[in-house]
Amino acid sequence: MSSTPQPPQVPQPQGYTSAQYEFTDENNRTISGLAVAMRSFASLMYVLGLVFAIFAGLTGVAAARSNGWHTWGFPVILGAVALLAVMFGFWTGSAAGSFRKIVETKNQDVWHLMNALGSLKTMYGTMRAMIIFAVILAVVGAVLIAFGLYTAEQVNIPGPAT
């Protein structure tokens, strides 16, 4: 009578912990400088996004008052640029926070490094899609502007006085 073979009995290690890699002080200074630069960039991108959003809103109000759909090109383009700027700021700031934690914590450097790299991967993957979307919006905006100029010429709408 044959019996089913059983796996060998191997004793489990007691209280095993792996030593985490810890960056040197020089590495930490470099990473800290990167985190500061990334945080500054993120803040500037938030401000830039806000400025472009304000411009998009103002030109959108002007376009709405003109009662013509052909004047919506500039607000669409400015809105796309505002969206891109805010997205760059958001993910750069997230990655900067993870890089900062590498410097501030002990025995978690690799974990925080992988978290930062994951944020950057997400940022660039999403930014790729957002840039494609922004390019499409920019093309739509350019078509609206071109069509608006063409129809204004066809209908003999006077331009601004010089």
Helix, strand, coil shares of the chain as percentages rounded to 5? 75, 0, 25
| CB contact at 8 A, 44 and 131 | no
Asked whether residue 8 carries a pLDDT value surpassing 90, the answer given is no
- Rounded mean pLDDT of 44-59? 96
What is the rounded CA–CA span in Å between residue 40 and residue 93? 8
Q: With the CA atoms of 73, 78, 81 and 83 taken in that order, what torsion angle do they form, in degrees rounded to the nearest 10? A: -100
Query: What would the pLDDT profile of 74-102 be if each residue is shown by its tens digit?
Result: 898 899 889 889 988 988 898 899 899 88
Asked whether residue 11 carries a pLDDT value surpassing 70, the answer given is no
